[in-house]
Amino acid sequence: DAGVTQSPTHLIKTRGQQVTLRCSPKSGHDTVSWYQQALGQGPQFIFQYYEEEERQRGNFPDRFSGHQFPNYSSELNVNALLLGDSALYLCASSLAWAGETSPLHFGNGTRLTVT
Amino acid sequence: AQKVTQAQTEISVVEKEDVTLDCVYETRDTTYYLFWYKQPPSGELVFLIRRNSFDEQNEISGRYSWNFQKSTSSFNFTITASQVVDSAVYFCALSWYNDYKLSFGAGTTVTVRA
């Protein structure tokens, strides 16, 4: 039973560039959430996708955008990268029918470094 | 404001000692859900336990137990007879009725020495 998979594992970008991170949810899951985890802090909610639409968004600027595909996989795009965007980006999947009580299953994350 | 506070930054114990992690939360909602997650060095957050606000019964699951007290807005987590493999960062998290995001505390780093 495949868990949540994220790619790439590590990424180094320069300020001002754009980046795309990818996520495949756990088998059977239909909802994908993205979190940003800065060093030494807890994860911060970016947004959640369900039925190919953004269902909820956290307090992140429009530079952060996403997409969900018909096979439930998802992408996170960040434009005009800032040094402060350096973080571990975590993807989590869950089941929509279980609602807000559904435990999230997380991937190992993508470590983004902006220089 | 809805907020999760984990006052302990780091805890270091010797194997077989018990470890209790503190979590205090703030919420104006009457229906909410509390979680504990573990993050080993690999980076993946692993779900441990979940509790609903309307169920204050405390339970034990293997070496894990938790103490949920609405009166003090606390949701503490205990690892009994700790093992080296328990070394990780532990996060307390909160979600609300009809809200899909989790709000995490800053985490507590647990180091279990052999």
C-beta of residue B80 within 8 angstroms of C-beta of residue B63: yes
**Percent of chain A scoring above 70 in pLDDT:** 96
Confidence of residue A76 (pLDDT cuts 50, 70, 90): very high
Residue B3 corresponds to which amino acid?
Answer: K
Residues with pLDDT less than 70, chain B = 1
Beta bridge partners of A50: A31, A53
Give the DSSP letter of residue A96. G
Give the DSSP letter of residue A26. P
| Chain A residues contacting B via beta carbons under 8 Å | 31, 33, 35, 40-45, 48, 55-56, 58, 88, 90, 92, 99-101, 103-109, 111
Q: Please give the residue that has the higher pLDDT: either A50 or B54.
A: A50
Confidence of residue A102 (pLDDT cuts 50, 70, 90): confident
Is A70 buried (19+), middle (13-18) or exposed (0-12) by CB count in 10 A? exposed
Q: What per-residue confidence (pLDDT) applies to B110?
A: 98
Q: What per-residue confidence (pLDDT) applies to A90?
A: 97
C-alpha span between B35 and A90 (Å, rounded): 17
pLDDT tens profile B28-55: 888 899 999 999 988 889 999 888 888 7
Give the DSSP letter of residue A4. -
Q: What per-residue confidence (pLDDT) applies to B98?
A: 75
C-beta of residue A63 within 8 angstroms of C-beta of residue A71: no
Q: What is the mean pLDDT of residues A57-69?
A: 96
Q: Please give the residue that has the higher pLDDT: either A98 or A94.
A: A94
Q: Strand B88-96 relative to strand B103-104: parallel, antiparallel, unpaired?
A: antiparallel
Q: What per-residue confidence (pLDDT) applies to A100?
A: 63
C-alpha span between A25 and A34 (Å, rounded): 11
Give the DSSP letter of residue B70. G
C-alpha span between A89 and B24 (Å, rounded): 26
Tokens of B66: 């938790």
Q: What per-residue confidence (pLDDT) applies to B28?
A: 85
Q: What per-residue confidence (pLDDT) applies to B42?
A: 86
In the predicted structure, residue A101 carries a pLDDT above the cut 70:
no
CA-based nearest distance B17→chain A, Å? 25
- Kindly report the average pLDDT of chain A as a whole number: 94
pLDDT tens profile A26-49: 999 999 999 999 999 999 999 999
C-alpha span between A100 and A94 (Å, rounded): 9
Which residues in chain A have Cβ-Cβ distances shorter than 8 Å to B95?
100-101
Cβ-defined contact of A106 to B95 (cutoff 8 Å): no
C-alpha span between B80 and B82 (Å, rounded): 6
Q: What per-residue confidence (pLDDT) applies to A2?
A: 74
C-alpha span between A6 and A111 (Å, rounded): 10
C-alpha span between A109 and A93 (Å, rounded): 13
Residues 6+ apart with CB under 8 A from B7: B22, B24
Cβ-defined contact of B44 to A56 (cutoff 8 Å): no
C-alpha span between B13 and B108 (Å, rounded): 13
